Amino acid sequence: MTLEILTPESVYYKGDAESVTLPGVLGSFQILNNHAPIISSLSKGTLSFTANGETRKIEITDGLMEMHQNKVTVCLDEILKK
C-alpha cells in the first residue's frame, strides 16, 4: 500500500508501507494492505509504520487519516519527535 504523511510544512514521508499503526481517538489501530476504506481522527501518541522491513516511529500531537484504494493519507498538525 502507499503511505503519505503530511504536515503543514512538508511531506514527511511518501512511499510504500507494509503496515501503519496509528493513535486513534478511541485507541490505537493498525492498517494493513487492502484494508477497508476508513477515516479517523488521531490523538497524541506514537505513529509507526513498516517500510522495506524497517519500522519507523514518530510522536504526533493530533491529525486525521484516510485509507482509500490502498492508499493511507495522514495529515498531522505537528510531529513532536522523529
Lowest-confidence pick of 36-45, 63-72, 73-82: 73-82
State residue 47's pLDDT score.
97
Find the domain containing 45 and state its range: 2-81
pLDDT tens for 25-62 read 999 999 999 999 999 999 999 999 999 999 999 999 99
Query: What's the total number of domains in the chain?
Result: 1
Question: What is the full DSSP assignment across the chain?
Answer: -EEEEE-SS-EEEEEE-SEEEEEETTEEEEEETTPPPEEEEE-SEEEEEEETTEEEEEEE--EEEEEETTEEEEEES-EEE-
What pLDDT is attached to residue 82?
Answer: 64
Percent of all residues in the chain with a pLDDT value above 90, rounded to a whole number: 91
For residue 62, give the CATH number of its domain. 2.60.15.10
